[in-house]
Structure 1
Amino acid sequence: MDTVEVDGLRLAYRRRGHGRRVMFVHGGAEDSRTWTPQLEALADEFTVIAWDEPGAGGSDDVPDGFGLSDYADCLAGMIRALGVSPVAVVGLSWGTTVVLELYRRHPTSIRRMVLADGYAGWRGSLGAREADARLAGVRAAMAEPGERFDPTLPGLFAGDPPARFVPLLEAMAANVRPRSMVTALTAMAQADLTDVLPTIRVPTQLVWGELDVRSPLAVAHELERRIPGATLAVIPDCGHVSNLEAPHMFNEVVRDFLGRPD
């Protein structure tokens, strides 16, 4: 892995391939390794870059008081440091919330975006009651001594997790830092970015698992309705982590979208 320093934080990333640049933004309790099937498949045509957000993977811990705007500013700083602005950005789950905040604060850094199985923040897409309940559940689980994130959490996949990715999921789960996870998901629970959606002026592709129960299809249809010109691709028999559960279909949607002329 390589690193860059942004605002005093050492941020790690993986980079492969040559061609048009694409930045991948992972979900909660994950790191850049979750994009392994995308980095492997798309490097033949694109320069694929996947970051470890602050507090994840090989990146430094999150400082006290870190919030959603700080994640977005760090991502913008990495894009600048790598000299890839404006860049296509692909976000999954919590990563879509970071991407939308990036667009709010640094719109010229994004060339086009893919939002997969995500949210305009939990508050924005699920409502205050569900957002607060989810956050309370996370805090309670992480407060247990020796507790760690379950990578096969019910609802992440439509069925059993793909066997070939279970070791990857377990390795990422073993590296989850409880304080950092709670920081990220607190930002997710508090976020309502619905006001950003109608302001988006870059090509936008939505990718959703048909059977996603963490971010149901109703959320995807609401984003499709609110984002000007957005298109939605639904992956059949697939849950929340569509990039791992159906990597071939996910990659084909992303490749087709990123390959179109601007």
Structure 2
Amino acid sequence: MATVRADGLPLAYDRAGAGPLLVLLHGAGDDARAWTPQLDALADVFTVVAWDEPGTGRSGDLPAAFTLADYAHCLAALVRSLRLGPAHVAGLSWGGTVALEFYRHHPDLVRTLVLADTYAGWKGSLPTEEVAARVAGVRRMLDAPPTGSPAIAVPGLFAGAPPAPYVPLLDAMAAAARPDTLRAQLALMAEADQRDLLPTVSVPALLLWGEQDVRSPLTVARQFQAAIPEAELVVVPGAGHLSNLERPEDFNRAVRDFCRRHS
């Protein structure tokens, strides 16, 4: 583990390997451990960095009134501190929304974008009634006492049952999630609409989607593909929303091939 400070906020991250910089941005409710199948597997080609975003894992608590732009500026502080030039930036789910906001504010620090099972914000990708239902569902989950395994608390994360090797990891991350952070992320995600940003993306972009993702279905991937100039779409067969955990070999192969072509 290493740390860097962004405007006084401590940010923790894991680092492995050497080569072009590949930064991994996890989803809401997770932390850097969500990238366990990628961190070492891709370190043969890249300097792989997986951060605990503000308010998660080993990083400091989320400051009051934190915005998507603030996430982007914290990530910029981390990338600049590494002194490895523009980065391949890969974000999954909420992490993809953060990656897009990072590109909006700091395009000079982005070599490529890998957007996996993500959204242009919920408002920018989902019907209004679906956004309202998700907000209500997450609020109920946060207000209810925990029951059973947190790994299956959110339906639709996987095409099938959660992959057995990662259930303890999923449970550990869910148990460590901070309710105040999740409430703040929920508000930001519900209101985020990045559709204006997509046509302006001028770096190579890979869209990496689980074939059976019901959280961010392939219709969202097609919206991204239509809006981002020359974006490439790779569909991960037999995978749901957390395609990096459900089909890590397919996921890693797509990321490695794409980023090597654009390094």
Q: One fold, TM greater than 0.5?
A: yes
CA deviation after TM superposition for structure 1 residue 186, in Å: 1.4
CA deviation after TM superposition for structure 1 residue 148, in Å: 9.7
Give the corresponding residue for 2:230. 229
The question of whether the paired residues in 1 share the 8 Å contact of 2:93 and 2:119 is answered with yes
**Residues of 2 paired with 1:101 and 1:40: CA distance?**
27
CA deviation after TM superposition for structure 1 residue 150, in Å: 2.6
The question of whether the paired residues in 2 share the 8 Å contact of 1:150 and 1:173 is answered with yes
Q: TM-score normalised to the size of structure 1?
A: 0.96
The question of whether the paired residues in 1 share the 8 Å contact of 2:9 and 2:60 is answered with yes
The question of whether the paired residues in 2 share the 8 Å contact of 1:29 and 1:149 is answered with no
The question of whether the paired residues in 2 share the 8 Å contact of 1:89 and 1:112 is answered with yes
**Residues of 2 paired with 1:246 and 1:139: CA distance?**
30
The answer to whether the aligner puts 1:11 opposite 2:11 as a matched pair is yes
Q: Which moved more, 1:22-31 or 1:80-89?
A: 80-89
The question of whether the paired residues in 2 share the 8 Å contact of 1:21 and 1:48 is answered with yes
CA deviation after TM superposition for structure 1 residue 230, in Å: 0.2
CA deviation after TM superposition for structure 1 residue 136, in Å: 2.2
Give the corresponding residue for 2:246. 245
Alignment of 1:37-48 (within 5 A): 37-48=37-48
Q: What percentage of aligned pairs have identical amino acids? A: 55
Q: Which amino acid aligns with 1:162?
A: P
Give the corresponding residue for 1:110. 110
Give the corresponding residue for 1:80. 80
**Residues of 2 paired with 1:185 and 1:82: CA distance?**
30
Give the corresponding residue for 2:173. 172
**Residues of 2 paired with 1:233 and 1:132: CA distance?**
29
Number of aligned residue pairs: give it.
262
Q: Which moved more, 1:81-90 or 1:5-14?
A: 81-90
Give the corresponding residue for 2:217. 216
CA deviation after TM superposition for structure 1 residue 145, in Å: 4.7
The question of whether the paired residues in 2 share the 8 Å contact of 1:112 and 1:202 is answered with yes
Give the corresponding residue for 1:258. 259
The question of whether the paired residues in 1 share the 8 Å contact of 2:150 and 2:175 is answered with no
Q: Cα RMSD over matched residues? A: 1.4
The question of whether the paired residues in 2 share the 8 Å contact of 1:23 and 1:88 is answered with yes
Structure 1 residue ranges without an equivalent (≥5): none
Structure 2 residue ranges without an equivalent (≥5): none
The answer to whether the aligner puts 1:190 opposite 2:191 as a matched pair is yes
Give the corresponding residue for 1:137. 137
Q: TM-score normalised to the size of structure 2?
A: 0.96
CA deviation after TM superposition for structure 1 residue 129, in Å: 2.7
The answer to whether the aligner puts 1:51 opposite 2:51 as a matched pair is yes
